[in-house]
Amino acid sequence: MEINLSTKLKENDLFYKCYAFTRADEVKRMGLYPYFHPIEENEGPVVQIDGRKIIMAGSNNYLGLTAHPKVKEAAIKAIQKYGTGCSGSRYLTGTLDLHIQLEERLAKFLNYEACLLFSTGFQTNLGVISTLVQKGDYVISDKENHASIVAGCLLAKGGYAEFLRYRHSDFEDLDRVLSSLPEDVNKLVVTDGVFSVTGEVVELPPLLEIAKKYNARVLVDDAHAIGVIGPGGKGTAHYWNCVEDTDLTMSTFSKTFAALGGFVCGPERVVNYLKHHSPAIIFSASPTPASCAAALAALDILEECPELVEKLRKNADKMRKGFKDLGFNIVENESAIVPVIVGDVEKAFIFWRKLFDNGVFVNAFIPPGVPPNMSMMRTSYMATHEDEHLEKILEVFAKVGKELGII
């Protein structure tokens, strides 16, 4: 696409930057564009793209439950009973008995007093952080936290709260930041439970200890942790056995729970406050009946079949070992995310394309999402990947890694 900026738009036009942004078009022209590929069919570990069957090694469908017959059936039945949407916010006409059931089940599952559903996980972080952290309060966030946490912190800042950050998983730095604040201000420390890019599990006990020392509350984002780590897949606070000290845990239905939506668990009084004050609840339609029913069915399966969590762990462990044995540089962790470092951006796009052509779909992560020269093939696994899928992924990585001189 040829764009003549000089004749079309002036730099002081709001849209100038949109017309000047041609990087994605260039990568598309080179045939290397790794994003927005439409999936035509999805069985979980195998998807169809451009008429070809491809092994999916980049989904967050951790237990593979989007394809589970019980989950699908629950969603279909919910549509038959309640229709396709709620057409209102939880506050007004959008509360179903399904929402209440799901909130009660999630609170019980994670050992909290109460739970509140939001329409997405992104919206949960926006709604929780900006509603709790008000004018004059402080929110302190890990530098590698998910974009939705950053968005929540910025929204709080727009309401005249203070937004500070500490170096990634550096609790001395967290201590330094907290010790520099006035003693009598309200504080919230926010961290990913499993960091979404690197898959590392946060070391929660020292974080909680420091937060307690400075009288700060703690919110953990367990989007990539529930169904993945901790006994029975109960996430980060359970993994470290410190749920009683973890004030709030939020998560999403878009990963293990095989649907769309988000939730936060915490003390009943806090959940009640959020329910009556969070614009993200009051002014946004509630999660659809199909999503709630699918998430409830997924929770049933998670509770009834802890062996799925074990299978997921085994699959991810097998891949970590497999990549290392082949000579790849990976980020070590205990989650279902296995990042394989390939280097610069160009190499990442070529690597991605070659994997795709050889029947493997992963996520290409490039700067600014990752540090310079740390572009990665972010792979992630499902409990429903079989050995044949995993071996094929390793075989293709080995072939492409050798071709590009990475191993």
State how far the Cα of 35 lies from the Cα of 45, in Å rounded to an integer.
Answer: 19
Number of residues that bind ligand PLP (CB under 6 A): 14
DSSP codes of every residue in 249-291:
EEEESSSTTSSS-EEEEE-HHHHHHHHHH-HHHHTSBPPPHHH
Which active-site residues does the annotation give?
196, 224, 255
In the complex, what is the shortest distance from the CB of residue 209 to ligand PLP, in angstroms, rounded to a whole number? 23
Query: 144 or 350, CB closer to ligand PLP?
Result: 144
Minimum distance from CB of 195 to ligand PLP (Å)? 8
d(CA 173, CA 117): 33
Tokens 């049933």 identify what position? Answer: 300
First-to-last CA distance in the chain? 37
Rule CB under 6 A: choose which of 34, 45, 58, 121 binds ligand PLP: 121
Shortest CB 284 distance to ligand PLP, Å: 12
Query: Which H or E run contains 3?
Result: none
CA distance 372 to 59: 24
User: What is the DSSP secondary structure assignment for residue 212, as one 8-state letter?
Assistant: H
Contact criterion met (CB below 8 Å) for 143 and 150? no
Exposure of 232 by Cβ count < 10 A (0-12 exposed, 13-18 middle, 19+ buried)?
A: middle
Q: Closer to ligand PLP at the Cβ: 315 or 363?
A: 363
221 binds ligand PLP (CB under 6 A): yes
- Cβ distance to ligand PLP smaller for residue 262 or 266: 262
**Contact between 119 and ligand PLP (CB under 6 A)?**
no
Amino acid type, 53: K
**Cβ neighbours of 154 (radius 10 Å):** 15
What mask of x and - would describe binding to ligand PLP in positions 161 to 200, judged by CB under 6 A?
-------------------------------x---x----
Nearer to ligand PLP, 146 or 217 (CB): 146
Q: In the bound complex, what is the minimum distance in angstroms from residue 61's beta carbon to ligand PLP?
A: 12
Q: With binding defined as CB under 6 A, does residue 291 bind ligand PLP?
A: no
What does the CA dihedral 301, 303, 304, 309 come to, rounded to 10 degrees? 80
Smallest separation (angstroms) from ligand PLP to the CB of 302: 17
Nearer residue to ligand PLP within complex by CB, 122 or 397: 122
Give the amino acid at 385. Answer: H
The interface with ligand PLP within residues 44-103 (CB under 6 A) comprises none
Q: Could you say which of 252, 278, 333, 379 contacts ligand PLP (CB under 6 A)?
A: 252
Residue from 262, 266, 339, 401 in contact with ligand PLP (CB under 6 A): 262
- Residue placing its CB nearer to ligand PLP in the complex, 125 or 333: 125
178 vs 337 by CB, closer to ligand PLP: 337
Q: Are 62 and 257 in contact (CB under 8 A)?
A: no
Question: Is 127 or 322 the residue whose CB approaches ligand PLP more closely?
Answer: 127
Of 254, 333, 380, 384, the residue at the interface with ligand PLP (CB under 6 A) is 254
- Binding ligand PLP (rule: CB under 6 A), the pick from 120, 256, 333, 379 is 120
Q: Which residue among 62, 112, 122, 328 contacts ligand PLP (CB under 6 A)?
A: 122
Note the maximum CA span of the chain: 64
Distance CA 331, CA 199 (A): 8
Q: How far is the CB of 280 from ligand PLP (least distance, A)?
A: 11
Q: Which residues contact 99 (CB under 8 A, 6 or more apart)?
A: 90, 117, 286, 287, 292
CB of 57 to ligand PLP, least distance (A): 17
Which tokens is 24 given? 């994605």
The two structure tokens encoding residue 116: 């509140």
CA–CA gap between residue 160 and residue 177 (Å, rounded)? 19
CB of 226 to ligand PLP, least distance (A): 11
Residue numbers at the binding site for ligand PLP (CB under 6 A):
120-122, 125, 146, 148, 192, 196, 221, 223-224, 252, 254, 262
